[in-house]
Amino acid sequence: MFSRSTMLMAAIVAPAIAAATPSFAQDGGEVSIMHYFTGALGLEVLQEIFNEFQEKSGVAIKESPIGHEDFKSGILVRAAGHNLPDVFSYWAGARTQFVIDHDSLRPIDDMWAANGLDNVIAKSVADGATVYNGKHYLVPFNYHYAGMFYNTKVMADAGITEMPKTWDEFLAMCETLNSKGVTPIALGSKNRWPAQFWFDYLVLRTAGTEYRAKLMDGSASYNDPEVQKAMGLWKELVDKGYFVANANADDWTDAGDKVARGDAAMTLMGTWITGYWNGIDLKPEADYNFFEFPQITEGLPNAVVGPVDGFVISANAANPEGAEKFLNFVVSDTDIQTKWASSRGALSANTGIDPSIYTPVMQKAAKAVADADAFVFNYDLSTPPPVAEVGLSMFSRFMDDPSKVDAILDQAAEDAKKAFTE
Amino acid sequence: MERETGVWRLVFLALPLGVFTVLVIWPLASSFYYSFTNWNGFSDNFEFVGFLNFKKLWTDKLFFNAAVNTAIWMVAAVLIPTLLGLGLALLIDSRIPGGSVFKSIFYFPICLSAVVVGQIWIWIYQPDWGLLNVAIGAVTNTSPDFAWLAKPDTALGSVIAAWCWQHTGLAMVIYLAGLTSIPEDLLEVCEIEGASTWQRLRVVIIPLLTPATVVVVALNVINSLKGFEILYIMTGGGPFNSSDTLAMHMYNESFKKYLMGYGSAISVVLFIVALTIIGIYFRELKKVDEIYG
């Protein structure tokens, strides 16, 4: 007979064990995963992906989703407590480099070679996003592309049928829009980062990828003539009244709303804006479309800008085999990649993906990336985090008062120099 | 027997003390420890850098900016709700019509969380359709589009206004309670002796409200020291750090720049400031206690 206290213990312990044990039959152990895909759509689809992985691999997943901004500090807290999950989502580029430089990630070269990932992942994305210090560390779960997203009807009403390819054509288009009483460009730089795409493209289109790489690694300075020229072009746009007033008061979704409503014609944003617009019932092509950031200086490589979301394995992962299985699964399985990319307004780095899964606008974006000479990460993923803070503040300071551009650049040059040594 | 009680005290205190140690003392000690290192939050490898982080504070413009803003914040967040609360309490106590309705209305914001208050005021300050610009436009017959939270000159002040809106009600209610304890006959004497309203207020009411003031100021000091959320929500320290406070600056340095050692040094400074303020406050409180019992 059980005593009353044993019964009580059993009553407490049994459900706890049941809760701790995943419902799938396990032989591959458990992999803990922390990620920032928390939005209603992302999380739901991701959980389906997790379930499929558990069924197919026999590896159990213990996930902890956490919002984008909180993730940035949350992952640090876990690293500080020597408690990093086996796998976590991370932004490819300077942030991943930063973690690798502090010995917190595990290389995945063997897994990469064993699964032939070189043939699976698009080279344009793979080169920059997956290899650090000569080794593979990250698999790209999806990526985005930043382009000039516009309201189709507003453009048509203003009589604009051809989208600009050159800077002069772009200026002429802005002038036409302005004369029709439509603010050409919406920007919501309250949280600073949306302004970075302007800086990225203006520098890339006037000074090229090599100069930009130097600026990002600290061997060039923010008050160089190259940066001054790029900022000068930006200032001209603001001075002519092509930007909405009070950009610093708006979020990127506010800017998206202004374009959607027709208060402004276009906004320079990542492809995630298509997910946002589809969510408020705008139709690709009929209601919105995009064009590539126009060419400014002839002869420079056509670089495109965007972020890559990836998964990485922590150096002290308790179950590295299970973790590698997971990384391979989420990037190699075309069904999974199809499901994920089509649900989120994101692009897949898997070359086996049938482009017809995308909306027509996303197909165009995928082509823009495929045809580009280079794919580079947006500003805050290209330069070390302390320096990115300097630049991001510089952009919003500039949007507040462009007339001070020279002083702002001198200040940024000084601050960035300091930040590079920190 | 005595000894046994002592042991039991320890036993009962062990749990709360343990929780306090784990959640307060340990992190506090860790902050002090890390403030002498160049730890970046990720790496196991870090070095002791002595007072380097503290030396850096002297040359960090953003730190000075944040320190000045913190001083403005502390003074405004304590003074304004206290004075407004007193004013409202006196008005409502003078039995103006609808007093009790106003009492509830003014008290209501304190029931809201900082997130809700922050969002309400973000809408009020919205440049194109926010209540404030629309109201100014209606009065002046113009169409202003001033971005209150996005301009460096007005961002901090605008957040302080939102904060005061939320915290005035609490001060008012405490003062109203204090006013009921002022003896009627004293006020009658004032009337008989022909004291002016100002004299009555200055010589009788305000001194007799001292215990209430002590409570109000204490709550406002404690709340303002904790006032991180509303700033984080409304401006995030922006635009370009113009509304940063020390807490905000510490967060940015630690979690956005990965300078955990330097962030810890800022938190140590913040801790010393808070400790000093609370120390002064307790000393003054003791004096008040001696007078009023």
Which domains, ranges and CATH numbers included, belong to chain B? Answer: 53-292 (1.10.3720.10)
Does A220 lie in the same domain as A300? yes
Domain carrying residue A124: 24-144+307-376
Please state the pTM of the whole predicted model. 0.86
For residue A25, what pLDDT is reported? 44
Does A332 lie in the same domain as A355? yes
Mean pLDDT, residues B92-101: 83
Does A364 lie in the same domain as A216? no
Asked if A389 lies within 8 A of B252 by C-beta distance, the reply is yes
Residue (of A230, A195, A188) closest to A211 by Cα position = A230
Q: What length does chain A have? A: 422
Give the nearest chain B residue to A419 (CA atoms): B257
> Is the CB of residue B126 less than 8 Å away from at least one CB of chain A?
yes
Task: Examine residue A50 and state whether it is found in any structural domain, yes or no.
Answer: yes
Task: Examine residue A315 and state whether it is found in any structural domain, yes or no.
Answer: yes
Does A284 lie in the same domain as A168? yes
Asked if A397 lies within 8 A of B42 by C-beta distance, the reply is no
Rounded to 10 degrees, what is the CA torsion of A314, A320, A326, A328?
90
User: Residue B286: enclosing H or E segment and its boundaries?
Assistant: helix B260-292
Residues 6+ apart with CB under 8 A from B136: B142, B144
Mean pLDDT, residues B166-183: 92
Task: Examine residue A237 and state whether it is found in any structural domain, yes or no.
Answer: yes
Ranking A69-73, A370-374, B236-240 by mean pLDDT, the lowest is A69-73
Residue (of A109, A25, A76, A92) closest to A381 by Cα position = A92
Whether the per-residue pLDDT at A224 is higher than 90: the answer is yes
Does A218 lie in the same domain as A350? no
Asked if A190 lies within 8 A of B150 by C-beta distance, the reply is yes
Percentage above 90 pLDDT, chain B = 52
Does A97 lie in the same domain as A29? yes
For residue A43, what pLDDT is reported? 84
| pLDDT confidence band for A26 (50 / 70 / 90) | low
Does A130 lie in the same domain as A258? no
Q: How many helices (H) and strands (E) does chain B have?
A: 15, 0
Does A178 lie in the same domain as A37? no
| pLDDT confidence band for B176 (50 / 70 / 90) | very high
Helix/strand/coil for B37: strand
Asked if B42 lies within 8 A of A72 by C-beta distance, the reply is no
> Is the CB of residue B133 less than 8 Å away from at least one CB of chain A?
no
Residues 6+ apart with CB under 8 A from A323: A31, A86, A87, A106, A313, A317
Task: Examine residue A351 and state whether it is found in any structural domain, yes or no.
Answer: yes
Helix/strand/coil for B98: coil
Are B156 and B242 in contact by the 8 Å Cβ rule? The answer is yes
For residue A115, what pLDDT is reported? 94
Q: What does the pLDDT look like over A152-171, one tens digit per residue?
A: 999 999 999 999 999 999 99
For residue A40, what pLDDT is reported? 59
For residue B265, what pLDDT is reported? 96
Asked if B240 lies within 8 A of A393 by C-beta distance, the reply is yes
Percentage above 90 pLDDT, chain A = 74
Q: What gap in Å lies between CA B132 and CA B36, rounded to an integer?
A: 47
Does A46 lie in the same domain as A91? yes
Residues 6+ apart with CB under 8 A from A136: A107, A108, A109, A112, A117, A130
Counting other chains too, the contacts that A414-417 makes at CB distance below 8 Å and 24 or more residues apart are A415/A390, A416/A218, A416/A221, A416/A222, A416/A387, A416/A390, A416/A391, A417/A218, A417/A221
Crossing angle of helices B61-93 and B210-225, in 10° steps, is 150
Asked if B44 lies within 8 A of A76 by C-beta distance, the reply is no
For residue B53, what pLDDT is reported? 94
Q: What does the pLDDT look like over A307-354, one tens digit per residue?
A: 999 999 999 899 999 999 999 999 999 999 998 988 777 899 998 999
Pairing label, strands A30-35, A60-65: parallel
Q: Which residue is associated with the tokens 């300097």? A: A390
Q: What gap in Å lies between CA A309 and CA A313, rounded to an integer?
A: 14
Whether the per-residue pLDDT at A384 is higher than 80: the answer is yes
Alpha carbon of B256: minimum distance to chain A alpha carbons (Å): 7
CATH number of the domain that residue A46 is part of = 3.40.190.10
Handedness of CA B279, B284, B287, B288 (dihedral sign): negative
| pLDDT confidence band for B152 (50 / 70 / 90) | very high
Does A119 lie in the same domain as A91? yes
Greater pLDDT, B287 or A22? B287
Task: Examine residue A18 and state whether it is found in any structural domain, yes or no.
Answer: no
Mean pLDDT, residues B284-290: 79
Whether the per-residue pLDDT at A13 is higher than 90: the answer is no
Does A290 lie in the same domain as A248? yes
Whether the per-residue pLDDT at A42 is higher than 90: the answer is no
* Most confident range, picked from A97-101, A161-165, B5-9, B221-225: A161-165
Whether the per-residue pLDDT at A21 is higher than 60: the answer is no
For residue B1, what pLDDT is reported? 55
For residue A323, what pLDDT is reported? 96
| pLDDT confidence band for A304 (50 / 70 / 90) | very high
Q: Please report the residues numbered 66 through 95 in chain B whose beta carbons come closer than 8 angstroms to any beta carbon of chain A.
A: none
Task: Examine residue A5 and state whether it is found in any structural domain, yes or no.
Answer: no
Averaged pLDDT score across all residues of chain A? 89
Are B270 and B250 in contact by the 8 Å Cβ rule? The answer is yes
> Is the CB of residue A73 less than 8 Å away from at least one CB of chain B?
yes
Ranking A259-268, A285-294, B102-111 by mean pLDDT, the lowest is B102-111
Whether the per-residue pLDDT at B174 is higher than 80: the answer is yes
Q: What does the pLDDT look like over A182-200, one tens digit per residue?
A: 999 999 999 899 999 999 9
Mean pLDDT, residues A137-150: 96
| Beta carbons within 10 angstroms of residue B38's beta carbon | 18
Number of domains chain A contains: 2
Task: Examine residue A16 and state whether it is found in any structural domain, yes or no.
Answer: no
DSSP B163-214: HHHHHHHHHHHHHHHHHHTS-HHHHHHHHHHT--HHHIIIIIIHHHTHHHHH
Does A105 lie in the same domain as A47? yes
Averaged pLDDT score across all residues of chain B? 89
Task: Examine residue A100 and state whether it is found in any structural domain, yes or no.
Answer: yes
Q: Please report the residues numbered 231 through 290 in chain A whose beta carbons come closer than 8 angstroms to any beta carbon of chain B.
A: 245-246, 248-249
> Is the CB of residue B153 less than 8 Å away from at least one CB of chain A?
no
